[in-house]
Chains A and B, each alone.
Chain A
């Protein structure tokens, strides 16, 4: 039986809508063949989560949404609409 390893694709979207544009992206390769790094591409691999799903990526995490705590409404930090997708690859 073939051994499988995860490829992870992390897409950050403009809004929580899975059709909305990608604003940031990262990839992690569980096969060990490729080590992705910061600043290694100028354009996202897909324009939306839906487009990645159409290419066979499976969504494994939806971002939870929480209202801002009182007094924290203008505070910003991490990107909020982070989707994690996977593909399994034979090694």
Chain B
């Protein structure tokens, strides 16, 4: 188990529930970024396929493996999907130089509709300015159930977030996140390493819960990303449900939302 100092805080977890992602800029040491970049160019070799215990996936000398064995990365993994998650799949995403058109908006496989969620890492081993992409994500889209490219005719949303970053940036997203690769207008090939993990334990208070009752949590869970317009209340309801699941408290509310439904007037026997 990783040292507590590397685990996520409750506030970070609430941001993950509200936004569907967390972003860690300049997070991976530069020497590892350079080695991982070279490994991506030649092809990242792994042992085993989907369902392999994560720790068994990479050879000891794999730079990408070393990235995901860093304690600060292990802390993110443990906080979200527990100590020994399963490897689902990985892919080195490559956007060739002078790619003028963005990828269509899509979500990745949303076959598992349980409350348990997978995570996907997006690892950027080199600087990624806007003219190079990077990956566009849509904050708050992770509860929206769509089948992969069903959303392909959309182009732009309020609050869409292009991941423009320095080398060594790591983004972790809920598996339902809508996203698309952006055009690469430079003369250099863009690389991004994606890794999907499945939890093997109940996702219940796996992070550092010392700030579990922090006063800012309700505000975070009530965030409005604007692009879903009138549906903001439904988004908040879905966040409350996931937060209850994560903290193991079926009475949690950010206000008088789900708790109003738990008032059961039809069950009161002694009416006047």
Contacts and interface: CB of A to CB of B under 8 A. Distances in A.
| B interface, size bucket | 35 or more
A76 B228 contact: yes
Interface in B92-137: 100-105, 136
B156 A74 contact: no
Interface of A: 10, 12-15, 20-21, 23-27, 35-42, 44, 74-81
A49 B122 CA distance: 36
B contact patch SS? loop
Interface of B: 100-105, 136, 143-146, 150-151, 153-158, 160, 162, 180, 182-183, 226-231, 234-235, 237-238, 241
Contacts, number: 92
A26 B145 CA distance: 21
26 contacts: A13-B229, A15-B230, A21-B229, A23-B228, A24-B157, A25-B155, A35-B100, A35-B101, A37-B101, A38-B105, A38-B180, A39-B155, A39-B162, A39-B180, A40-B155, A44-B158, A74-B237, A74-B238, A76-B145, A76-B228, A76-B231, A76-B238, A78-B150, A78-B151, A80-B231, A81-B229
Given A76-B145, A78-B150, A36 B155 contact: yes
Contact of A26 (B101, B143, B156, B237): B156
B145 A37 contact: no
A36 B183 CA distance: 12
A77 B146 contact: yes
Contacts of B235: 76
